[in-house]
């Protein structure tokens, strides 16, 4: 990859679904995403944006074209390597937070780092506490996540996505379950991550205001990028 500022590059991506019969769901998708950029993907339901995000996140490997991430070609990589890349370099934030309700905020945030196994438990605890603090949740660190509000739960999910210092955060409707106040809190967090910490964020959203305030919008229709 010639431009070291590019974190993610898709070239000529195509994708088929085979049920109920073969049809093309993504056609000739090509774009680059720069480090520290906040990109939103928009389009009607069925436009292919979630399918594309799933593919960019390395969870789907059945596609045409090439995908490069952080200087590495992901296409045709072994499943084990892709799992390593996901755990170490990609943070995920979904519409539903997927927290373990019987665990504290702190424990939920620690899980991906414990799995990665790069640091001691003490170091991970310290990092989890600091990350929660950055998101204004230090006072909720020891509380079980089932006792938190929806907005707080989503912020814990963002802290969990950040714990391994990923190269990119991928969000699938990250504000889909939130009211407008919490949506704007989550948006501000993403904005701060990109502007102050050079974190890269790619989020699929149905929220036009959320998309308009991001750095760049990739609009999709019928499996193609239209703008």
Q: To the nearest whole percent, how much of the chain has pLDDT over 70?
A: 99
Q: How many CA atoms lie within 13 A of 14 on its CB side?
A: 8
Classified as helix, coil or strand, 22 is coil
What whole-number distance in Å separates Cα of residue 67 and Cα of residue 69? 7
Question: What domains can you pick out in the chain, each with its CATH number?
Answer: 6-225 (3.40.50.300)
Token pair listed for 151: 């907005």
Q: What is the dihedral of CA 66, 162, 43, 29, to 10 degrees?
A: -10
Q: 32 has which bridge partners?
A: 9
Q: Name 156's Cβ contacts closer than 8 Å, sequence gap at least 6.
A: 97, 99, 105, 108, 109, 132, 135, 137, 140, 145, 148
Write the pLDDT tens digit of every residue in 100-113: 888 899 999 998 88
What pLDDT band is residue 59 in, cutting at 50, 70 and 90?
Answer: confident
């Amino acid at each position: 990859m010639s431009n070291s500022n590019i974190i993610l590059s898709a070239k000529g991506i195509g994708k088929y679904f085979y049920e109920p019969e073969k049809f093309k769901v993504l056609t000739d998708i090509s774009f680059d995403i720069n480090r520290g950029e906040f990109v939103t993907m928009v389009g009607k339901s069925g436009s292919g944006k979630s399918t594309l995000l799933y593919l960019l996140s390395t969870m789907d490997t059945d596609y045409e074209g090439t995908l490069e991430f952080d200087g590495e070609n992901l296409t045709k990589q072994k499943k084990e390597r892709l799992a390593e890349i996901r755990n170490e370099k990609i943070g995920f934030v979904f519409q539903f937070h997927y927290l373990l309700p019987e665990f504290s905020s702190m424990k939920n945030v620690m899980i991906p780092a414990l799995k990665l196994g790069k640091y001691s438990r003490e170091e991970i605890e310290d990092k989890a506490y600091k990350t929660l603090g950055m998101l204004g949740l230090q006072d909720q660190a020891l509380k079980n996540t089932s006792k938190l509000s929806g907005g707080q739960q989503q912020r814990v999910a963002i802290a969990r996505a950040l714990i391994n210092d990923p190269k990119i955060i991928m969000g699938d409707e990250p504000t889909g379950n939130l009211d407008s106040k919490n949506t704007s809190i989550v948006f501000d967090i993403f904005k701060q991550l990109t502007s102050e910490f050079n974190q890269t964020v790619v989020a699929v959203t149905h929220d036009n205001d959320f998309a308009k305030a991001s750095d760049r919008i990739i609009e999709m229709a019928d499996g193609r990028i239209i703008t």
